[in-house]
Amino acid sequence: MRFLIIFFISCIYIASLTADASAYTRQPVMQAPVGGGIVVTSPFGPRDHPVSGEPQRIHKGVDIGTDYGDPIYAAADGVVTNVLYEEGGYGHYLIIDHGNGVFSLYAHNERNLVYEGQYVSKGQVIAISGSSGRSTGPHVHFEVMEGSIQNEVFPGLYCSALAGAISDGASCGGEPMDEDYGAFNFDAQYDYGKPVREVLQAMTQACSDGLKAAKEPVSWLLIALMVIDLALSTGEQILDENIRPQRFAKFALHKVLYFGFILYMLGNWGSIMGNAVRGLFTSFGAYGVGRSFEDAEAMLTDPTAILSKGMYIISPIFDQMDNMAGLKMLVIPGALCTYVFSLILVVVLFILFTIIVFQIMKAHLHFYFTVLFSFCSWFFSGWKHTTQYASNGINAVFASAVNLMFYAFFSLLLETCLMNVSCDALYTTAEPSGVTITYNELSPETSLEEFMARIRAVESSNNYYVWDDIHESFGAYQINVQVGNWNNWCSRYIADGGVLDTSPLLASAEEPPSAYPWTAANQDKIAAYIMTGYYNRYGNWHDVAVAWNGGEGAVGKNWPSTEGYYAKVCGAKGPSFELLLPAINMLVLIEILCLVLMFMVMGDRIHTAIINAVGQMGFRLRTM
């Protein structure tokens, strides 16, 4: 039944988006970010849960399949606001502001070809397609945002070519190739707390139903004992030779007040002993740690929130394990040990958090079962010789409430502490600048000819007619062909007064077709022309190398890939920048383990101490 409801809601959501997309196209009208046929590998909207198949997670954009090196085009005119790199996430990506609060995002690029603040026109090549970040194949993750870069909307509202790219199961032409949800969310992907919540809700409902079912028999038993008590005590008063009107009036008033009290408690037991007492002591626990009653209530009614919080806190461990998976574990020395240790750490923390969840659940159920059974013993309050049993029931309720107050206090305290502990610091990876690399920094005295020779050595080993099929680049300097750099640069060079060989007889069979043959002389002239422009703009060879490798948008970003490229240009000898082993910070590890262990050990012991100290005869029903 629940699956049908979720399916029905998803259908309504998809239908509304489809209707909205087909009704009109919003401004600005966008083109698809890739050319040729559109193959949507993962559409916008709810994605199926990887285990249960339920639609639980929202894909914030549209994934479009590409080949390595395919050009990525600006969907509309605008200004580039961000050119960034996100390890383990979007990889190389950029954001364009189209005005009026509309933005577009292009992610998982091989490299970006624009820089922040640059104005781009609709259809302009802005990046080269790839599979950077968390991705399993070449594609473009395309998002459209309204109002802010955190408010993603269906791209088909602006781009008619993507109007059908919604998660309806029919528009997906391939397998999803990324996880564009941000950081790993353990609880969102595997809801281990669900069975605990269901048991807790079922048992709480059983106690509530039990109160309703027990009300009638308890009422009859209470009335029977009240009649017996009233008959016997009235007879004693009448048979007393020293009875006086004032004393009898006092006796009658006490009986009226006492019976009125126990009948009122009988009719409102759930609201008084269940809700009022529980709310009072829960509030004390919440206020003790500076939180609200609502926070404590949410924590007690759903103790799996602690598990969710714990799994969210340690989610960076999952991300790090994911980054180390595969060949890295076999290539990097010590990576396999780090991976195994991280796996053990995750299992241990999950077990500890699960134990804490069951402790909170036990205190919650202990209170409700105490309320139920103390109500069942309430009929003993009708006769003065049995009121001690009813008093025991009330004492048990207050003891359970005090116990619950402790768990409210400690649970919120633990949550607050966990919020201040981050596993991001659990791993430390050496920055490229911290790795010992042997190379000589290029100086201003380095000539253009020497710099070009270094670039040729890195890019092609001085082969002027070599292809890079992955990046669709050619020649000694590996100039990109797919995005049209060669033709554009040649046109600019000629417009600035340069002279190139144009005879088709000079073209070789290996080179890509062009109006300008890829002769060695032409390649040297174009490379010198572009590199001189970069040097005039940035004033140093480091940024020229970075711009040549990653585009001008990479300048100043200190990305490991471009820094590694510059090191190669300088003749670097040393370890690869891409294979740095993360080291585990033992202090952070000990901090997390001690915090969780403290609560787990103290939780059970303090529970026992409270029940023994408070759960004694403290409240007595006074009868005459």
The CATH number of the domain holding residue 94 is 2.70.70.10
**Residues 6+ away with beta carbon under 8 Å from 14:** 45, 166, 167, 168
Identify whether the C-beta of residue 214 lies closer than 8 Å to the C-beta of residue 372: yes
| Burial (0-12, 13-18, 19+ Cβ within 10 Å), 594 | exposed
206 shares its domain with 341: yes
Question: Is the residue at 183 inside a domain?
Answer: no
Are the CB atoms for 61 and 105 separated by under 8 Å?
Answer: yes
Q: What is the identity of the amino acid at 263?
A: L
Confidence of residue 95 (pLDDT cuts 50, 70, 90): very high
**CA 480 from chain center: how many Å?**
37
So what's the pLDDT on residue 360? 79
Q: Taking the CA atoms of the chain, what radius of gyration do you get in angstroms?
A: 36
345 in Cβ contact with 191 (< 8 Å): no
Give yes or no: residues 462 and 533 share one domain. yes
**CB-count burial class (<10 Å; 0-12, 13-18, 19+) for 597:** middle
For residue 106, what pLDDT band results from cuts at 50, 70 and 90? very high
CATH number at residue 500: 1.10.530.10
Residue 325 pLDDT more than 60?
no
Does 409 lie in the same domain as 497?
no
Pick the more confident residue, 48 or 568.
568
Q: Are residues 229 and 139 in the same domain?
A: no
Q: Kindly indicate the confidence band of residue 104, based on its pLDDT and cuts at 50, 70 and 90.
A: very high
Between CA 364 and CA 608 the distance in angstroms is 14
How confident is residue 430, by pLDDT bands cut at 50, 70 and 90?
A: low
Confidence grade of residue 493 (pLDDT, cut at 50, 70, 90) = very high
Residues 570-609 have pLDDT tens digits of 875 444 434 455 666 667 667 777 777 777 777 667 666 7
Q: Which of 393, 388, 362, 392 is nearest to 269 (CA)?
A: 393
pLDDT given for residue 431 in this prediction: 47
438 and 424 in one domain?
no
Q: Are 346 and 317 in contact (CB under 8 A)?
A: yes
Task: Domain count for the chain, please give it.
Answer: 3
Which residue would you say has higher pLDDT here, 246 or 474? 474
Tell me the average pLDDT of the chain: 74
Average pLDDT over every residue of 305-309: 66
Answer whether 0.85 is exceeded by the pTM. no
**Mean pLDDT value across residues 2-8:** 41
pLDDT-derived band at 20 (thresholds 50, 70, 90) equals very low
444 with 518, same domain? yes
> What's the pLDDT tens digit per position in 267-305?
888 888 878 887 887 787 777 777 777 777 766 666 666
| Mean pLDDT in residue range 434-444 | 57
Structure tokens at 171: 């528009």
Could you tell me if residue 581 is inside a domain? Answer: no
309 and 404 inside one domain: yes
- List 141's β-bridge partners, or say none: 63, 107
Question: 488 and 419, same structural domain?
Answer: no
Amino acid at 500: L
pLDDT tens for 113-172 read: 888 888 899 989 999 888 887 776 788 999 998 876 667 888 888 888 887 666 543 333
Q: How many CA atoms lie within 13 A of 437 on its CB side?
A: 22
Residues 111 and 153 both lie in one domain: yes
Amino acid at 520: A
- 308-319: average pLDDT: 64
Same domain as 200, residue 72:
no
Say if residue 419's pLDDT is above 90. Answer: no
Sequence-distant (≥ 6) Cβ neighbours of residue 133 within 8 angstroms: 86, 87, 88, 89, 90, 91, 92, 93, 107, 108, 178
Tell me, yes or no, whether 396 and 494 share the same domain. Answer: no
Edge-to-edge strand list for the sheet holding 473-474: 467-468, 473-474, 479-480
pLDDT of residue 576: 40
Which structural domain, as residue segments, surrounds residue 67? 2-160
